[in-house]
């Protein structure tokens, strides 16, 4: 693959199920591959031979296109889905981890900015800060995850990567870019996790909203969840508890 093509898993229209944009309709471009291996991941991000691409918003009438998918081909299908007036707020680049295919992503975003001007919502695990530098000025929204050591199958920590990722955001886009940070928490959430999250966020100098997302299969007890929120609110101004709503209403 080169900067003109990428391995795409699927393209479809749905309602955003997580974070601050819950309920808004988006077109999702799910890209293959991920550099992490989270215990709770509910997405098969392995590369596929054929990408499935929805033809009519919300109808699951998929057409299959051979991978890697060319930029022009992707825009062709995106234009078809975007023709429904006022339905979609933005295009969500998700995965896996979209920044793994940053050369393609940059070319795609350059063409979008020059010709189509769709609002772009980047969903990322917040570790590939050098790749982010290449595309940050070409996106409108960033939904950044902070991954806890307990979420990884090998217990690996990513605090330094998250800190640098947030510094890239703070140093390049202090005004127009919208961003929020999401952390999936379960009963293993610790004092160390709380202090490290605050350390990462405070280092950027910008106070983005923090979303606490209860892990669907192992959520903290309600009282513990509220106590965690209260502790964050002592140092952060905007901390929200938002579950994965797409699982509740049974949509992709």
Which of the four pLDDT bands, split at 50, 70 and 90, describes residue 38? confident
**Residue pLDDT, tens place only, 120-170:** 999 999 999 999 999 999 999 999 999 999 888 788 999 999 999 999 998
Q: Is the pLDDT of residue 7 over 80?
A: yes
SS3 9: strand
CA–CA distance, 236 with 131 (Å, rounded to integer): 28
Listed in sequence order, the residues at least 6 apart from 124 whose beta carbon sits closer than 8 Å to its beta carbon are: 97, 98, 99, 132, 142, 143, 144, 145
Query: Is residue 110 helix, strand or coil?
Result: helix
Rounded to whole angstroms, the Cα distance separating 166 from 183 reads: 14
Dump pLDDT digits (tens) for 193-241.
Answer: 999 999 999 877 778 999 999 998 888 899 999 999 999 999 999 999 9
Going along the chain from its start, the domains and CATH numbers come out as 5-248 (3.20.20.70)
């Amino acid at each position: 693959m080169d900067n003109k093509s990428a391995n795409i898993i699927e393209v479809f229209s749905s309602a955003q199920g997580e974070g601050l944009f819950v309920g808004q309709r988006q077109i999702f471009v799910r890209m293959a591959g991920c550099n992490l291996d989270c215990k709770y991941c509910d997405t098969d991000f392995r590369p596929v031979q054929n990408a499935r691409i929805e033809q009519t918003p919300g109808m699951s009438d998929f057409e299959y296109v051979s991978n890697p998918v060319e930029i022009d081909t992707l825009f062709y299908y995106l234009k078809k889905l975007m023709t429904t007036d006022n339905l979609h707020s933005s295009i969500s680049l998700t995965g896996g981890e979209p920044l793994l295919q940053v050369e393609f992503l940059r070319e795609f975003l350059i063409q979008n900015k020059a010709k189509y001007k769709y609002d772009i919502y980047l969903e990322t695990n917040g570790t590939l800060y050098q790749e982010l530098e290449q595309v940050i000025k070409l996106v409108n929204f960033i939904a950044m995850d902070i991954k806890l050591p307990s979420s990884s199958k090998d217990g690996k920590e990513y605090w330094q990567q998250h800190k640098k990722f947030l510094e890239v955001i703070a140093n390049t886009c202090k005004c127009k870019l919208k961003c929020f940070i999401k952390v999936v928490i379960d009963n293993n959430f610790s004092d160390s996790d709380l202090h490290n999250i605050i350390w990462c966020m405070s280092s950027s100098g910008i106070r983005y909203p923090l979303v606490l997302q209860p892990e669907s299969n192992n959520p903290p007890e309600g009282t513990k969840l509220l106590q965690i929120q209260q502790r964050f609110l002592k140092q952060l101004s905007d901390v929200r508890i938002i579950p994965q709503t797409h699982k509740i209403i049974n949509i992709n």
